[in-house]
């Protein structure tokens, strides 16, 4: 796959394309669906961050408000209290890229000031459009995620992705976000409540390249994997790795996961297959 440089805050960049890149999940929340309450002290945060880095994560995605179905919203002040201390601690200890998982513009601004390189917005800039202005002003990488929550989706999943994300991209462009800062996320599980909805999106994921941006996917431990495997959230690493391989073969570039090691191994096999295929076809990476 052709290499692209993803432009990030603080003068950093990440090469996307030739090899799968892994974003490790670090939820500093009491109520996330699979790891709530596990990483709420600085010692626990740093131990988990160290494990994620050692296993191969190049980005750590830090979130302070659960996004699971039926989650309870927290105040901006509480979200910031949770995430800012975590970002500062991780950035001081590890040379790793940091992503802030938030839809709030002020939280995003403070997070980048504290050391974050990427803003990951699960509402696709459509809840607080000012978050795009933060990305433009700071040069942060921007993950724009599709969601079906709070809206009526079009019947065709790819048409709906294009409809929603085109609006998000217009918001980003109007704010002055450069195209090289943007990665798109199709939002597995976010308002896609059934196995069929998620599998339909997975089958057709390659069509999303028509939007012209690298793709990040976050299937990790999602409910549809549990339904298919009969596993509880903490036991869905193998199922997640299977989806990672499928989506890597469809051309996705970044993988947001809780269980880094198994996904890194699985993606290494997928990358080797892609390299072998390109060599046999006489194409360049």
Residue in the block written with tokens 């800039």: 125
The catalytic residue among 192, 222, 236, 264 is: 222
Residue 5, Cβ density class (10 Å: 0-12 exposed, 13-18 middle, ≥19 buried):
exposed
Comparing CA positions, the residue from 159, 154, 215 lying closest to residue 188 is: 215
The catalytic residue among 82, 223, 248, 256 is: 256
236 labelled catalytic: no
4 labelled catalytic: no
Cα 279 to its chain centre, rounded Å, is: 30
Distances in whole angstroms, Cα of residue 239 to Cα of each of 214, 242, 243: 23, 5, 7
Positions marked active-site: 222, 256
């Amino acid at each position: 796959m052709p290499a692209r440089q993803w432009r990030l805050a603080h003068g950093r960049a990440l090469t996307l394309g030739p090899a799968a890149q892994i974003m490790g999940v670090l939820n500093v929340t009491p109520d996330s669906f699979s790891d709530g309450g596990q990483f709420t002290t600085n010692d626990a945060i740093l131990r988990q961050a160290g494990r994620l880095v050692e296993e191969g994560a190049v980005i750590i995605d830090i979130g302070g408000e659960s996004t699971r179905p039926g989650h309870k919203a927290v105040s901006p002040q509480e979200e910031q209290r949770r995430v800012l201390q975590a970002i500062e601690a991780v950035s001081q200890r590890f040379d790793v890229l940091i992503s802030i998982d938030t839809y709030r513009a002020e939280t995003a601004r403070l997070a980048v000031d504290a050391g974050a390189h990427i803003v990951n917005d699960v509402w696709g800039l459509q809840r607080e459009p000012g978050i795009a202005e933060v990305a433009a002003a700071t040069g942060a990488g921007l993950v724009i995620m599709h969601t079906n929550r709070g809206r009526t989706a079009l019947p065709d999943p790819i048409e709906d992705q294009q409809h929603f994300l085109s609006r998000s991209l217009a918001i980003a462009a109007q704010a002055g976000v450069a195209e090289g800062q943007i990665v798109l996320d199709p939002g597995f599980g976010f308002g896609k409540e059934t196995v069929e909805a998620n599998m339909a999106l997975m089958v057709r994921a390659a069509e999303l390249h028509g939007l012209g941006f690298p793709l990040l996917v976050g299937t990790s431990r999602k409910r549809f994997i549990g339904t298919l495997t009969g596993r509880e959230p903490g036991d869905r690493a193998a199922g997640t790795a299977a989806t990672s391989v499928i989506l890597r073969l469809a051309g996705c570039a970044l993988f947001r996961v809780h269980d880094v090691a198994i996904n890194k191994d699985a993606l290494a096999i997928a990358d080797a297959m892609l390299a072998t295929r390109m060599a046999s076809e006489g194409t360049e990476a």
